[in-house]
Chain A
Amino acid sequence: GQSLEQPSEVTAVEGAIVQINCTYQTSGFYGLSWYQQHDGGAPTFLSYNALDGLEETGRFSSFLSRSDSYGYLLLQELQMKDSASYFCAVRDGFNKFYFGSGTKLNVKP
């Protein structure tokens, strides 16, 4: 079956760098997406990787290794507003989306 694994919770201090890992197992694979969701809010799109390598968007970067079925989201210069849940998501070979269970990031002053 399809599965995505990511840590349930991560804590870091303001200004630090944090990496949230995601490993996946799917039948077919188109790409890995990352979404951010604040408490009580809707998920918002952060990044998408279809090919191996690093994609950078401001303070956020996302990495994919298709051969390792692994990706990560890197958040730099952490700010308090980055406290949220982060989800990795995969579109499998049948075009269905699967989301990880989410990583709750706590940013402390």
Chain B
Amino acid sequence: KAGVTQTPRYLIKTRGQQVTLSCSPISGHRSVSWYQQTPGQGLQFLFEYFSETQRNKGNFPGRFSGRQFSNSRSEMNVSTLELGDSALYLCASSLATSGEEQFFGPGTRLTVL
């Protein structure tokens, strides 16, 4: 069974631009969560989607948004990029919203210049 895939793996943007990251969950998994990982803040929860609905949202500004498609694939978008948005963005999938075992993708390393 293929794991969670994320594209692109690396991305360089400049301040003010916007970016869209993509995540394909494990086949059959309907829950997708997004996390931001930085050396100083650790792993921070961005949002969780289940069956195309945002189920939960972390404490991030409205510049961070996401969506989930009918095939469970998910995208997250960050608009008006700031230097502080430089981070590793991780996507994780699980079978259900109560699934405690989350399977993480390799992440997208975003650098904002």
Contacts and interface: CB of A to CB of B under 8 A. Distances in A.
Interface residues of B, number: 24
Contacts of A100: 42
Interface residues of A, number: 23
In terms of DSSP, what is the predominant structure of the interface of chain B? strand
A95 B101 contact: no
B31 to A, nearest CB: 10
Contacts of A99: 35, 42-45
A102 B4 CA distance: 22
Per CB-CB distance, the 8 closest pairs between chain A and chain B, nearest first, are A99-B43, A42-B104, A101-B42, A48-B100, A45-B101, A43-B104, A97-B45, A96-B56
Interface of A: 30-31, 33, 35, 41-45, 48, 50, 87, 89, 91, 94-102
